[in-house]
Amino acid sequence: MNTFINNQNWRYATKKFDTTKKISNENLETLKEAIRLSTSSYGLQPYKVLIIENPEIRAKLQPVSWGQAQITEASHLFVFANIIDIQENHIDEYISNIANTRALKLEDLKGYADFMKSKIISLDTDIKSVWTSKQTYLALANLMNAAAELKIDVTPMEGFEPEKYNEILGLNELGLNASLVATVGYRHDEDQTQFFTKVRKSNSELFTTIK
């Protein structure tokens, strides 16, 4: 656990990336697996993750990301895109995955499928979109924690224009919405923010124990 805490003290929201350093294929696969194994409500994973290396696309995204340099300077750009309107087919695909993975019969999972559908399908689209968007934050946390263990820097971002991202990346046609962005790579020696003391609330301010 001390290693985990040390990693959390090491990480910070990197402002300047070293453009000469790229994430290895092996480490990239580890980060992808960390995201894949993330927890999500019902286990649905109601999102897609786009990993953007193409410099031309990233150049188009930078102006609609509040001009932040990390968009083009980082080794990789991760875009978490939530499914806007969960439908029965999404749940059916998940149930089929469970059946195949665990060697179960689909009819034995019908009760669980019907339960999920009863709780999700009737919700307003806006409510469903907010809910699925929240799930992307859980996946982002796994990415950040795994990256810190590998001493890879991650800067999570909400400072971008989702509508423009959706347009540039063709997400509208896929029923997806850009929810979160994370730039991933290696800090530059000249990024002075890496030397700043981490500022957080004290335990007494943050926690209340109810016995």
For residue 76, the enclosing domain spans 2-86+121-206
Is the confidence at residue 1, as pLDDT, over 90?
Answer: no
pTM of the model: 0.96
pLDDT over 90 percentage in the chain: 99
Domain-located, residue 36: yes
For residues 197-208, give the mean pLDDT.
97
Domain-located, residue 35: yes
Tokens at 2, concatenated: 């001390």
For residues 170-186, give the mean pLDDT.
98
Domain-located, residue 19: yes
Look at residue 118 in the predicted model and tell me its pLDDT. Answer: 98
Domain-located, residue 116: no
Domain-located, residue 99: no
pLDDT tens per residue, range 48-74: 999 999 999 999 999 999 999 999 999
Phi/psi at 82 (5° precision):
-85, 150
For residues 61-89, give the mean pLDDT.
98
Domain-located, residue 192: yes
Element (H, E) at 50: strand 47-52
- Do residues 50 and 81 make contact, with C-beta atoms less than 8 angstroms apart? yes
Domain-located, residue 126: yes
Domain-located, residue 145: yes
For the chain, the domain total comes to 1
pLDDT tens per residue, range 15-36: 999 999 999 999 999 999 999 9
DSSP 91-123: HHHHHHHHHHHHT--GGGGHHHHHHHHHHHTTS
CATH number of the domain within which 78 lies:
3.40.109.10
Residue 57: CA atoms inside 13 Å, Cβ hemisphere, count?
15
CA pair distance 120, 135, nearest whole angstrom: 14
The vertex-168 CA angle with 164 and 170, nearest 5°, equals 110
With a CB cutoff of 8 Å and minimum separation 6, the contacts of 43 are: 94, 98
Is the confidence at residue 148, as pLDDT, over 70?
Answer: yes
